Amino acid sequence: MAESTQAELKTSWYLLGPAFVAAIAYVDPGNVAANVSSGAQFGYLLLWVVVVANVLAGLVQYLSAKLGLVTGQSLPQAIGKQMSRPLRLAFWVQAELVAMATDVAEMVGGAIALRVLFGLPLLLGGVITGAVSLLLLTVKDRRGQLLFERVITGLLLVIAVGFAASFFVATPPPEDVLNGLLPRFRGTESVLLAAAIMGATVMPHAVYLHSGLALDRHGHPHAGRSRRRLLRVTRLDVALAMAIAGTVNAAMLLVAAINLQHHQVAASIEGAYAAIHDTLGATIAVLFAIGLLASGLASASVGAYAGALIMQGLLQRSIPMLMRRLITLCPAVVILALGFDPTRSLVLSQVVLSFGIPFAVLPLVRLTSNRGLMGSDTNHPATTVLGWAVAVLVSLLNVVLIYLTVTS
């Protein structure tokens, strides 16, 4: 019996992985921009938003993976089957806009990292980021999902080390950290940044993607012991991945609060790099830049993967990855070519993402609450209530953001 349990545990560890790919979306350059801007402008004030967003994201990611395992459909496929063709096309348009906003974050973040590390122009750095992300996708196409998961998980560890390294040199005061866990805002800009943090954490494309990742990796197990075991492993997978992502996100905000607040430096990613370089030394600053570069490269490839899944599920047709990638990269290339402020562009891209969250979360909660579709794996009523609360919370945050922006 003990040997059987031990063997099952080893197999369970082998089954981990899809959530770590999805978690890349939660530590992308958009997160860096939102968290750095928040820490620089408001110190520890919005730390509570990072924590809440991470917990809610974990719930949503598990529901997405569960939908894929139980129904044998990705979330975009399941949504598309519920809609008429005109409505499905309209839904795809908003999902595609979300994908473009995602690409803005990944491309601009990678470009900033390459400029900081090697002095490359932003436009050239963005093009290189897009090209390398395509190379990473060829790993999945030619060598399979398992190797792709391992490559992305390795990059996730690089990101974690890069953004958390500064804590070996300077740690925040515990009382300030605890104070940052008290929910509150301070003016319109803090609400804007809260929406950006939420949009950068509960990422729509990651919600769509996780159902497909779980399905591609594990298939569609029949109801019974094997499915229950896979769902338990999936919960562990999500918990571990989101714990890493949440720690990294909190670290970004805290690093900015320590090194940028009350300093005469720009509230930007490059400002954070300069401040870290001046206060903590060149080695820590380079690790920060390497983490940012790994974030841009990994999240760009994962974003392209999600975009292809969304298009296939909603349009019910497959479009060559290169063509799709060129289309969604256009806005990012234009932003870089016209010289818009890169960090501000990143933050605003995350606000756009936050407007896409209800379109992903509301159908997900409805589908996973449908007993006819999910059978015995239907959501617990408390889970359903919490899922609806996530969508309502983000929607209300966006309404408040619009009101404060118009009236300020």
Q: What confidence tens digit (pLDDT) does each residue in 20-54 have?
A: 888 888 888 878 878 888 888 899 999 999 999 89
Asked if residue 289 is part of any domain, the answer here is yes
Asked if residue 7 is part of any domain, the answer here is no
Confidence of residue 237 (pLDDT cuts 50, 70, 90): very high
Res 71 pLDDT > 50: yes
Q: What is the pTM of this model?
A: 0.86
Instruction: Say what the pLDDT of residue 7 is.
Output: 39
Domain of 198?
16-407
Asked if residue 1 is part of any domain, the answer here is no
Distances (CA, A) of 216 to 18, 124, 197, 210, 301: 9, 34, 29, 10, 17
Please give the tally of structural domains in the chain.
Answer: 1
Q: Which of 64, 27, 66, 52 is nearest to 361 (CA)?
A: 64
Are 28 and 201 in contact by the 8 Å Cβ rule? The answer is: no
DSSP label of 182? S
Instruction: Say what the pLDDT of residue 132 is.
Output: 87
Asked if residue 295 is part of any domain, the answer here is yes
Rg over CA atoms, the chain = 20
CATH code of residue 147: 1.20.1740.10
Instruction: Say what the pLDDT of residue 259 is.
Output: 79
Instruction: Say what the pLDDT of residue 147 is.
Output: 83
Mean pLDDT for the chain?
83
Asked if residue 2 is part of any domain, the answer here is no
Distance CA 16, CA 234 (A): 7
How does 55-64 read in b/e, with b if 16+ C-beta sit within 10 Å? Answer: ebbbbbbbbb
Q: Which of 67, 93, 164, 52 is nearest to 364 (CA)?
A: 67
Res 292 pLDDT > 80: yes
Q: Which of 33, 49, 64 is nearest to 260 (CA)?
A: 33
Asked if residue 78 is part of any domain, the answer here is yes
